[in-house]
Structure 1
C-alpha cells in the first residue's frame, strides 16, 4: 500500500530530501542489536524529558507528590546509567551518572529560584546548565570518536531550552505553549537517542553487525513506540490533572488528542481513510472512558466507576478485533491481553495517586510507559511482515543516491557529490543554529520545489510525495503528517532556510564541522569523512 511511507516514520522524508537510498537494500528487521539499542535509548531519554517536565510542574505547585515524581526521574537516570555501563563499562557509567544527575539538580534549582522570585538564583541555574551541557558533550565525545562534541553540545542546548520553555510557560499559566514545548522536548529526545545509537553501532561493529539502527522497519518501530509511549504518559498525567481540578487539564487533554490524531494518521496512511476513522472512533472511546472514571472517582460514585471499567473492557475487545483484522499475523487474543494490561496499568497508576500512595503511582506510571514499547514493536513487526515490499526489497526510488554534501557558513558555494552550485544566498547561523537554503538542497538531489504565496509555504515534491514547510513554523508536514523541527523556518535573502541540525538528525547523516573555515560536511553513515580538523 503506497500510503505506508507517510510520516509514520522518517523513511519517506528520507527519500524525498536528502538521505541517500541504496540501490540494493539488505533485508531488514524491526528487531536486532541495533534497532533494540535505538529503542532502549529512545525510551529512556523520552521518559526523562516528560518526567522532568512533570517534576518541575509539581515543584512549582508545591504538590505533595513532588518528591516521588523526582524519585521517578532519578530511577530513570539509574536505568540510563545501566545502559551506558553496558557500552562503556562501570567507570564510564559512574562518570556519566555524576554529570547527568547534575543537570537534574540544576533544573530543581531553577524551579526553586522561580518559586522564590530569585532572579539571581535563576541566572545561576542557567549558567550551571550551560556548564553542564559542555561537560556532558565532552563526555560523549571522549567516549566515542564518532560523536561530534559541538553537535552534542548544540543538541543539549535544545534539550535544556525545551524543558525551561515548558516550565516557564507553565509557571506563567500559558498551558497551551507549555504542553507544546513538552511534546517537542519528548520528540527531540528520540532523535537524540537515534544519534547516540548510530554512533555506538559504528564504534562497536562486531556487537551491532545487523546493519544500521535506522532502516525502514526500525523507523516504523521507533515511530510507533514513541507515539504509544507518549499516549500512556499523557493519559496518566491528564488523569492526575483531572482529579486535582487543575487549570491546565484541558490543555494536557488537548495534547492527548493530538497524539490520537498522530496515531490515527499513521493508521490511515497504512490502511486507508475509512480504517483511520474507524480506529479513531474506537481509540478515542477508551480515552473518554478514562475521563468518565476520573469523574466518577471525584464524585465518589462507585456505580459510575464500575460502568467506566466495564466500558473499558468492551473497548479492549473491540480494539483487539480491529488490529487483528488489519494485521493478519497478530492474534486477537494476544492483543486483547495486551490491552488489558495497558488499561490496568493506567487505572493502577491513577488509583494509587488518588490514594496518595505516590511511590506506587509513579512506579505504575513507568510500567505503563514501558509496556507500550513492546506493544509498538509487536505492531511494527506485524506491519513489516504484512508489507514486505515496503520494508524488505530493493529501493527503486528515482531520487539520486547522494553520498556527500559540503557547504560553508557565509559562502554561496554548495557541493553535492562533487557537483558545484553557486547559490544566491549563503548558509548562516541564527541563535546558535546553522541554516541552509532549502531550495538548492532539494533541487540538488532531484526534488521539485514549489512556493505557495497564499500561506508562505514551500512544497518539496518527489513523485506522489510532498513535504511542506511554513515560514516561522517550528514544524513541517510530510504528506499531511506533522514532524517537529525544534527551530523556526526562516526567510532570508528571499529564500526559505532550514536548520541543518534538523536535516541531519532526522535523516541520520553524519555532520562534521571544520572550525578553521566554517565548512560543514554531511555524509552518508557508511562513507563518513574522517578529518583531524573536524570537531
Structure 2
C-alpha cells in the first residue's frame, strides 16, 4: 500500500527540500584585529612643544616691551599696568628654565631680566627727556646687563656660547632703542621696521635657547 500524504503535509515537505538546496549566504567578513583596535596615539614632540612655549614667552617679552615704549612715551594711563605685566613676563621666563636648571637658576635669570626691564625704562625716560648724557649712561648699563645675562646662561649650558648670546642680546637692545628713537621722531615706518626686525630676532633667540636645552638634556625630549 502506498503511503498517502495530505496536501498540506506535502507542501511542507517540498518547502523544506527547497530550503536545503538553496546556496548559503556568504558569511560576514571577520573584523581583523588591526581594524578593531583603536589607532595608536602619537607620542608628543616634546622639542616642538618646548619651542612653542619658549617662543610665546619671548614674544610676550618683545610685545609688552613695545607696549611699554608706546605708553611711556605718550604718557598714557596704562603705563604702570603694562610695566607690571612686562615684569611678570620676566618671572615667567625664569620659571621656564627651572625644570632644567633648578629654582635658584630660574630666580637668578628672572632677576637679571627684571634689571633688563628696569634699565629699559631708564633708556625710555632719558630719550624722552632729551638728555644725551643720561641716555648714554642708561644704554651703557643696559648693555652691561645684557652681558651679565649672556654670562649666566653660557655658564649653565655649554651649547649657549657666551659671545653669541652677547651679540644676540645687544642686537635686541639696538632694535628696541630703534623703536624708541623712531617714535620720538614720529618716523612711524622706521618704528614698525625696528619692531618687525626685533620680533623675528627674538624668535631666533628663543629657538637658540630651546636648541641648547635639547642638546644638553636629550633624554628629556625622548
- Aligned match for 2:49, one of 33, 36, 40: 36
Q: Aligned-pair distance for 1:166? A: 1.1
1:134-533 matched pairs, under 5 angstroms: 134-209=147-222
Query: What per-residue deviation string (whole Å, max 9, x for no partner) do you get for residues 35-92 of structure 1?
Result: 1111111111011111101101211111100001111111211211110212211100
C-alpha distance in structure 2 between counterparts of 1:30 and 1:55, whole Å: 40
Aligned: 1:100 with 2:113: yes
- Which of 90, 94, 113 does residue 103 from structure 2 map onto? 90
CA 1:91/1:120 → structure 2, altered by over 3 Å: closer, same or farther?
A: same
Name segments (4+ residues, structure 1) moved above 3 Å. none
Could you say which structure has the larger radius of gyration? 2
Measure the CA separation in 2 of the matches of 1:82 and 1:97.
8
The answer on 1:56 being equivalent to 2:65 is: no
Contact (CA 8 Å) 1:77, 1:101: kept in 2 or not? yes
Preserved contact between residue 56 and residue 107 of structure 1 (Cα < 8 Å): no
Cα offsets for 1:182-203 (capped at 9, x unmatched): 1111111111111110110011
Structure 2 unpaired stretches of 5+: 1-41
* CA deviations over 1:510-535 (Å, ceiling 9, x no partner): xxxxxxxxxxxxxxxxxxxxxxxxxx
Question: Does the residue aligned with 2:159 lie in a helix, a strand or coil?
Answer: coil
**1:96-128 alpha-carbon deviations (Å, 9 max, x no partner):** 011111111111001111222221110111100
Counterpart position of 1:68: 81
Residues 166 and 177, structure 1, Cα contact 8 Å, conserved in 2: yes
Determine helix, strand or coil for the equivalent of 1:157: helix
Give the conservation status (yes or no) of the 8 Å contact 1:41–1:197: yes
User: What is the TM-score with the length of structure 2 in the denominator?
Assistant: 0.78
The CA deviation at 1:31 is 4.6
Give the deviation of 1:30 after TM superposition. 10
- Contact preservation (8 Å) 1:162, 1:182: yes
Q: 2:129 aligns with which of 113, 116, 119?
A: 116
Contact 2:64 2:85 in 1 (8 A): yes
Unaligned 5+ residue runs, structure 1? 1-28, 210-535
Cα distance in 1 for partners of 2:171, 2:221 equals 29
Per residue, is there more strand in 1 or in 2? 1
Please, what TM-score do these two structures have when normalized by structure 1?
0.33
Match of 2:91 in 1: 78
The structure richer in helix per residue is: 2
Structure-2 separation of matches of 1:121 and 1:91: 33
Q: Deviations over 1:324-357 (max 9, x none)?
A: xxxxxxxxxxxxxxxxxxxxxxxxxxxxxxxxxx
SS for the counterpart of 2:54 is helix
**Residue pair 2:91, 2:107 contacting (<8 A) in 1 also:** no
CA contact (8 A) 1:55 1:70 kept: yes
State the Cα deviation string for residues 206-234 of structure 1 (Å, max 9, x = none).
1012xxxxxxxxxxxxxxxxxxxxxxxxx
C-alpha separation in 1, matches of 2:74 and 2:127: 11
Q: Deviations over 1:15-34 (max 9, x none)?
A: xxxxxxxxxxxxxx895211
Partner of 2:16: none
CA deviations on 1:489-528 (whole Å, 9 max, x unpaired) are xxxxxxxxxxxxxxxxxxxxxxxxxxxxxxxxxxxxxxxx
8 Å CA contact 2:179–2:190 kept in 1: the answer is: yes
What's 1:132 paired with? 145
Q: From the superposition, tell whether residues 132 and 63 of structure 1 become closer, same or farther in structure 2 (CA, over 3 Å).
A: same
Question: What is aligned with 2:3?
Answer: none
**Does the CA contact (< 8 Å) of 1:47 and 1:186 recur in 2?**
no
Number of matched residues?
A: 181
